[in-house]
């Protein structure tokens, strides 16, 4: 289920105040294992329903449980084929395989993608250089040092803490507003803004 579909389901459940289709589960001692309708249960939790009705069964073996789970997903679900295949291969009894309603040939022909680990050496990195004179570099170092010592708020000052996407976003906005093309000039403007902010808030321990 996509995030949009889940959000739609949550809104519908909130509006109804109940689940129009009952989840199905297995009772194990005093707990219930949902084998069909997990999305509906998740939506009910997000919608903050105090209680929901479910259908359940007791004392079933693992293969029957898997067959029931697969039968529901093969009819209405959008589950990952790799997950369905792994579940199906755990069933040995032909009757329960037939009960599942799975198209065995299509499912068995599905190849689970092999994930290849990626190391840092496999990633192509691009270098961006900023050029400054000695005075500008000293100004930058002093400003960053002040921010690091007493003005960092980890929840807000992410540019200083190294969140690259946020850094690029702010630099792009600075270049747009000040009509600046050069990266080095744009970053220096960011430093100047930080200096002004430090002077304005010099008595505060934290931004």
User: Domain 3-109 belongs to what topology?
Assistant: 3.90.1530
Please, which contacts does 186-189 make with residues 24 or more away whose CB atoms are closer than 8 Å? 187/130, 187/140, 188/132, 188/136, 188/139, 188/140
pLDDT range class, residue 45, cuts 50, 70, 90: very high
Least Cα distance to 142 among 162, 165, 178, 134 occurs for 134
DSSP character at residue 147: H
Percent of the chain with pLDDT over 70: 81
78 Cβ contact partners less than 8 Å away, ≥ 6 residues apart = 1
Higher pLDDT, 56 or 153: 56
Rg (CA), the chain: 29
Output the DSSP codes for 35-103. Answer: EE-HHHHHHHHHTT-S----EEEES--HHHHHHHHHHHHHHH----HHHHHHHHHT---HHHHHHHT--
The rounded distance, in Å, linking the Cα atoms of 43 and 49 is: 9
Phi, psi for residue 120 in degrees, rounded to 5: -60, -30
The overall pTM is greater than 0.95: no
Task: Report pLDDT digits (tens) over 58-112.
Answer: 878 888 888 877 777 654 444 567 777 788 888 888 888 887 777 778 777 777 6
Task: Report pLDDT digits (tens) over 187-206.
Answer: 888 888 888 877 777 665 44
The rounded distance, in Å, linking the Cα atoms of 112 and 17 is: 39
Sorted by where each begins, the domain ranges of the chain are: 3-109, 134-200
Task: Report pLDDT digits (tens) over 132-180.
Answer: 888 888 888 888 887 776 655 555 555 455 567 777 888 888 888 888 8
Local structure of 31: helix, strand or coil: strand
């Amino acid at each position: 289920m996509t995030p949009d579909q889940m959000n739609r389901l949550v809104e519908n459940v909130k509006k109804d105040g109940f689940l129009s289709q009952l989840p199905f589960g297995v009772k194990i001692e005093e707990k219930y294992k949902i084998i069909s309708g997990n999305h509906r249960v998740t939506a009910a939790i997000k919608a903050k329903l105090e209680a929901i009705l479910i259908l359940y069964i007791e004392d079933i073996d693992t293969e029957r449980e898997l067959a029931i789970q697969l039968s529901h997903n093969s009819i209405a679900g959008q589950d990952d084929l790799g997950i369905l295949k792994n579940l199906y291969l755990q069933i040995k009894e032909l009757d329960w395989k037939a009960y599942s309603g799975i198209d065995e040939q299509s499912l068995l022909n599905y190849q689970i993608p092999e994930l290849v680990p990626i190391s840092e050496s496999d990633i192509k990195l691009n270098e961006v250089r900023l050029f400054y004179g000695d005075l500008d570099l000293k100004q930058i170092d002093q400003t960053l040092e002040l921010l690091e010592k007493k003005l960092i708020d980890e929840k807000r000052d992410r540019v200083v803490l190294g969140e690259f996407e946020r850094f690029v976003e702010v630099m792009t906005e600075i270049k747009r507003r000040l009509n600046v093309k050069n990266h080095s000039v744009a970053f220096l403007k960011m430093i100047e803004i930080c200096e002004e902010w430090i002077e304005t808030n010099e008595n505060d321990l934290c931004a």
